Amino acid sequence: MSTFELEPGGLAQTMRRKKWVNGLTVALSQIMLVGFIGVAGQTSPQNWWYSVTVWVLATFSLYWRYSRPRLVTTLVVLCLLATVPLPLPALDVWWTAPIIAYHWARYGSRRVRLATLAVATVGSLIGGWVFARSMTVYDQGALELWIGFLFGCFCCLTVTVIAWFLGDTRRLRENRHRALIERTRQLEHEREQERVMAALDERARIAREMHDIVAHSLSVIITQADGARFAAIARAQGAGHAPVTEDHGNTGSLPGTPGQVSEAQEPVEIQALSTISQAARSSLEQMRSLLGVLRTDEGRSFEPLPALHNIQQLVEQMQGLGFTVEFFAQPDLEEKLPQGAELTSYRIVQEALTNVRKHSPTSPLVTVRLSEGRSARRGTLDIDVVNAAEPSPSDSMPGARRGLLGMRERVDMYGGSLHYGRQADGSFRVFAQIPFAL
């Protein structure tokens, strides 16, 4: 790291936003030039051009302190040293020192900031000596000269150190602001990642459950197709049609089942049933190879999937935990819903009641209502879960809103809708609609 090194991003940001400061600084320098020329001409006519040259180099170089900070700093320091031989303090040149101190305290690294403070201290001692030396023209005594030296050192050091602390304070404030912005972005990124992971987990869970549903349906198709095919073969044998020939190479036959006629002699309906059975078996094997990997050891169960009538068990579990739960269910809803929609309904009520336990453990009343509705010439299962208590803030709890995201994933699979939020009376409501064919 070089002696003069800016923190990353500080220089570029300053050049974009603070260009007008350079122009203002140069303009003020030009205004001060008029008075300086007059004073220099009266007090030091023999050094007039020398003083003006040093002043112009020191002040006008400040315009490039953002684009060429090391070059400008070196030039200003040389100009300040060049004023030491002058009989009077060149205050119009000295004022560039606090500007340089402010600049490096704000944009420099830690080593550069400390070096700037050390150089400012040494420069203040030199300034005090120059100020005391200028008093010799008035025939002052030793005590007055020491007082002048201390006074000059104090003034130079105070102005420079104040400028340095102002720059350092501004740097700390900007660093805190950038850290806060970065922290906010990181939290937003983490929250978004949690939402994505929750959605992926829920989709994997849905895929596992859909595997069970589709596997069950395909198994029914295979069983019915095989049964119909065997019945057709037996009926054909009883009617005296083509004799039955065993086909041990056909993997579609079940062990211990009747033989089947050869493919050339099979009636069309038997061939169709055989094709259905083989296609269903092939689909079942492919689906197990694709979706079976999503099933974890923890998630494997030989129990049947939950259905609509199992919601009563969820209500009883809540009541066993001390909650007051009112449950209303319209009859004959199970007959109108497919198995997958029943499972989705169960999971929605389960998640809603879980949220009550997590966020409202002292809820006085929970209402669960299942009813049939109408939407766009279709029937809908309306699921309404109302928590009478006002839930606690959920953003600070682990897994907050993941269940709600999972609900939406499930409802979207069936083209339904999900609404949740706080009501006017302070309660929290979860309302879902799952459409089904009439």
Give the per-residue pLDDT at 34. Answer: 52
How many residues are listed for the chain in this entry? Answer: 438
CB 379 within 8 A of CB 336: yes
pLDDT tens across 156-206, in order? Answer: 888 888 989 998 999 899 889 888 888 888 888 888 888 888 777 777 777
pLDDT tens across 75-112, in order? Answer: 888 888 888 777 666 666 777 888 888 888 888 888 88
**Which residue type occupies 346?**
Y
Cβ neighbourhood burial of 410 (10 Å; 0-12, 13-18, 19+): buried
What's the rounded mean pLDDT across residues 224-236? 78
State percent of the chain over pLDDT 70: 69
pLDDT tens across 354-413, in order? Answer: 888 878 888 889 999 999 988 767 888 999 999 988 666 554 444 456 677 778 888 888
CB 229 within 8 A of CB 270: yes
**Residues in CB range of 416: below 8 A, 6 or more apart:** 380, 432, 433, 434, 435
Task: Show contacts of 206-212: CB within 8 Å, 24+ apart.
Answer: 206/409, 206/410, 206/413, 207/291, 207/294, 208/291, 208/294, 208/295, 208/299, 209/305, 209/340, 209/343, 210/291, 210/340, 211/287, 211/288, 211/291, 211/292, 211/294, 211/295, 212/305
CB 379 within 8 A of CB 436: yes
What's the rounded mean pLDDT across residues 38-44? 48
**Residues in CB range of 222: below 8 A, 6 or more apart:** 277, 280, 281, 284
Flag whether pLDDT at 3 surpasses 60: no
pTM across the whole model: 0.45
Flag whether pLDDT at 217 surpasses 60: yes
**148/133 Cα distance (integer angstroms):** 9
Q: Give the H/E segment covering residue 384.
A: strand 378-387
Greater confidence (409 vs 310) lies with 310
Write down all domains in the chain, each with its CATH number in brackets. 10-188 (no CATH), 309-390+399-435 (3.30.565.10)
> Encoding tokens for residue 73?
């700093």
Give the per-residue pLDDT at 371. Answer: 92
